């Protein structure tokens, strides 16, 4: 691993300042307050301002709606995003889905969708999880039936985060119920504004909004199909790998699949350090207690551990350490850390209470940590799959 410094050119330094100035201007306190209040993971005006700069798909050519950024510029943009409190969940699902549309969509569909993605008018959510399927995507029961050149879709999806912000859902549907479990699946880009689609909100412990989405005789043209019929598992392999932390390293990006959770742990550490350095009425500072300083130092090491754990290993560590250390910070700071945002006496305006609540859900987001452990076993340790249990004898 190369730990050397990057020697930025003068134009790159100027671009970094341009990015910071942009966020200072457009990521207003109102945008941050709305996200804390709603948990939407999206702000239309801020997202549109990114589109106006070509920064939703920043490496796309300018003529395609992007900014034509090179890898270093794109990384500088991402680093500044990571440093800010940006409502970006819908942005992330849109980018994941767009890669599938680019690779498998018809020319008609790409012409209809991609320009809108680049300018910020089109957003896409992930229609994966089902009420009784959990993380087992191959257990999909939502049905798509061919009808006179169209597809009729019936079923339900759970935890479709951002559906209320989006124009389309990247939907996984079963098209051959008699095929083996990982076959007979087809992927569609389904418009969410048509008849038969109902979106219902779900509140989460961490304050995020997600959704149930119901499809009742929803008809879509075959142009909205992505990839071959009944071969959806291979179509989904690339975005699933990206979501699960299995991705190529270009030498610039985060190597781990738990980067978002490591960033939250880093934020909690920053606030805890500020609290610890603040003198009480008697002039004493918490950080003057060696045990408190040692605890914060250990969390700082954990933050670096998450950053440098590759792929699915980072995914597991990111979630596990965020859950454990957010609870440890509550114990360290004391009862006032349990007070939520806006309550008198809340430490650092309730960031620790929020962090502990949010941490609990990270074990299931984007595939559970048990799924990530299976990926580690299969892709890193090269362990064989466990044998299927034999049928009981009589």
pLDDT tens for 255-277 read 677 788 999 999 999 999 999 99
Q: Looking at residue 243, what is its pLDDT? A: 54
The rounded distance, in Å, linking the Cα atoms of 223 and 244 is: 28
Which tokens go with 314?
């980072």
The DSSP line for 90-110 is HHHHHHHHHHHHHHHS-HHHH
CA R_g for the chain: 23
Average confidence (pLDDT) over 1-5? 64
What is the pLDDT averaged over residues 295-319?
Answer: 93
Q: What is the pLDDT of residue 259?
A: 83
Q: What is the DSSP letter of 165?
A: G
Instruction: Give yes or no for a contact between 68 and 54, defined as CB atoms under 8 angstroms apart.
Output: yes
318, 268 contact by CB (below 8 A): no
Nearest to residue 227, comparing CAs of 198, 186, 263, 196? 186
User: Given this model, what pLDDT does residue 110 score?
Assistant: 97
Categorize the per-residue pLDDT at 387 as very low, low, confident or very high, splitting at 50, 70 and 90. confident
pLDDT in tens, 184-213: 999 999 999 999 999 999 999 999 999 999
């Amino acid at each position: 691993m190369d730990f050397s410094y990057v020697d930025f050119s003068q134009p790159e330094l100027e671009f970094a300042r341009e990015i910071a100035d942009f966020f200072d201007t457009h990521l207003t306190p109102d945008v941050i307050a709305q996200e804390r209040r709603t948990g939407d993971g999206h702000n239309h005006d801020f997202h549109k301002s990114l589109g106006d700069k070509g920064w939703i798909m920043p490496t796309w050519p300018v003529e395609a709606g992007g900014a034509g950024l090179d890898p270093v510029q794109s990384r500088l943009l991402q680093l500044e995003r990571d440093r800010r409190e940006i409502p970006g969940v819908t942005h992330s699902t849109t980018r994941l889905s767009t890669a599938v549309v680019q690779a498998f969509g018809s020319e008609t569909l790409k012409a209809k969708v991609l320009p809108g993605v680049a300018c910020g008018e089109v957003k896409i959510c992930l229609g994966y999880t089902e009420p009784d399927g959990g993380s087992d995507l191959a257990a999909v029961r939502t049905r798509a039936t061919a009808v006179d050149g169209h597809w009729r879709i019936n079923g339900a999806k759970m935890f479709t985060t951002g559906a209320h912000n989006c124009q389309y859902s990247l939907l996984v549907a079963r098209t051959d119920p008699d095929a083996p479990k990982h076959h007979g699946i087809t992927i569609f880009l389904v418009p969410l504004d048509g008849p038969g689609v109902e979106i219902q909100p779900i509140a989460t412990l961490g304050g995020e909004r997600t959704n149930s989405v119901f499809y009742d005789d929803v008809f879509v043209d075959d142009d909205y199909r992505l990839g071959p019929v009944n071969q959806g598992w291979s179509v989904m392999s690339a975005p699933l790998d990206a979501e699960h932390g299995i991705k190529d390293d270009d030498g610039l990006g985060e190597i781990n699949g738990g980067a978002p959770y490591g960033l939250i742990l880093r934020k909690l550490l920053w606030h805890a350090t500020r609290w610890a350095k603040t003198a009480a009425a008697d002039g004493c500072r918490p950080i003057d207690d060696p045990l408190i300083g040692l605890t914060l130092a250990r969390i700082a090491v954990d933050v670096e551990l998450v950053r440098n754990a590759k792929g699915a290993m980072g995914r597991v560590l990111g979630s596990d350490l965020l859950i454990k250390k957010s609870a440890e910070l509550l114990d360290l700071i004391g009862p006032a850390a349990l007070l939520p945002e806006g309550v008198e006496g809340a430490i650092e305006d309730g960031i620790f209470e929020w962090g502990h609540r949010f941490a609990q859900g990270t074990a299931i987001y984007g595939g559970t940590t048990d799924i990530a452990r299976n990926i580690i076993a299969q892709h890193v340790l090269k362990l064989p799959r466990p044998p299927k249990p034999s049928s009981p004898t009589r």
